[in-house]
């Protein structure tokens, strides 16, 4: 009998929770944020496990019989009625374990400069350092790390690897992956640099060894 598993996607605010939630909602063998597949963006208060992050004890009332694999997404901090809130990881983990369900964490990463700029633009100040301190408390659970940049660069090949590493159903061949990754949100933060002094060193070294 397959042990039920809950995968928790978490990361600093603005690190790609919505994108990853869409990716993990693609596989028919996992229960995730399926409603997000029909919308570009939905507030996290509508995430399937949102009420359980506010009150983890309610997880005992969740319908765990519908599937063997589940995925939830929560940022650090997340907004609860307009207030930045740190997820109740300890209580959440304890309740899930009491239900006999395996829980694993996947921490989302994105370029730190972009995260800080994005958090400042949306929330008024960066909160990534708060998130990093909270994630240190999860290291005892051997979390996996997911890269926003690697997903956009290697796409299905990266997802195929995650399917194996996470031992969690990932629809890496689903054609909707291309649509989800059509827009790289990092692009708007980049401006081309016409010249940098290291360029001259690189060109010189290349000529030297020709």
pLDDT digits (tens, 9 = 90+) for 33-76: 999 999 988 989 999 999 999 999 999 999 999 899 999 999 99
State how far the Cα of 163 lies from the Cα of 166, in Å rounded to an integer.
6
CATH code, domain carrying 12: 3.40.50
Q: What is the pLDDT of residue 82?
A: 86
Question: DSSP label at 124?
Answer: S
Domain count, the chain: 1
Which structural domain range is residue 22 located in? 5-208
- Residue 107 and residue 66 in contact, taking contact as beta carbons nearer than 8 Å: no
Cα(151)–Cα(149) distance, integer angstroms: 5
Q: Is the pTM of this model over 0.95?
A: no
- Place 179 in a pLDDT band, splitting at 50, 70 and 90: very high
The mean of the pLDDT values for the chain is 93
Put residue 142 in one of left, alpha, beta given phi > 0 → left and psi -120 to 50 → alpha: left
């Amino acid at each position: 009998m397959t042990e039920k598993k809950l995968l928790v996607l978490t990361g600093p605010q603005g690190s790609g929770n919505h994108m990853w939630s869409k990716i993990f909602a693609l596989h028919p063998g996992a229960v995730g944020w399926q409603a997000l597949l029909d919308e570009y963006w939905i507030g996290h208060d509508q995430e399937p496990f949102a009420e359980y992050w506010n009150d983890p004890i309610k997880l005992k009332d969740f319908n765990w019989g519908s599937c063997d694999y589940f995925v939830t997404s929560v940022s650090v901090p997340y907004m609860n009625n307009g207030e930045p809130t740190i997820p109740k990881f300890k209580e959440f983990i304890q309740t899930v374990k009491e239900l006999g369900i395996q829980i694993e964490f996947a921490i989302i990463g994105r370029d730190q400069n972009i995260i800080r700029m994005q958090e400042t633009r949306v929330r008024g100040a960066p909160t990534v350092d708060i998130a990093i301190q909270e994630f240190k408390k999860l290291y005892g659970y051997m979390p996996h790390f997911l890269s926003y940049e690697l997903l956009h660069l290697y796409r299905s090949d990266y997802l195929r690897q995650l399917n194996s590493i996470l031992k969690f159903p990932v629809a890496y061949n689903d054609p909707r992956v291309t649509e989800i990754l059509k827009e790289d949100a990092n692009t708007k933060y980049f401006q081309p640099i016409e010249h940098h002094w290291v360029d001259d060193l690189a060109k010189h070294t290349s000529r030297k060894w020709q």
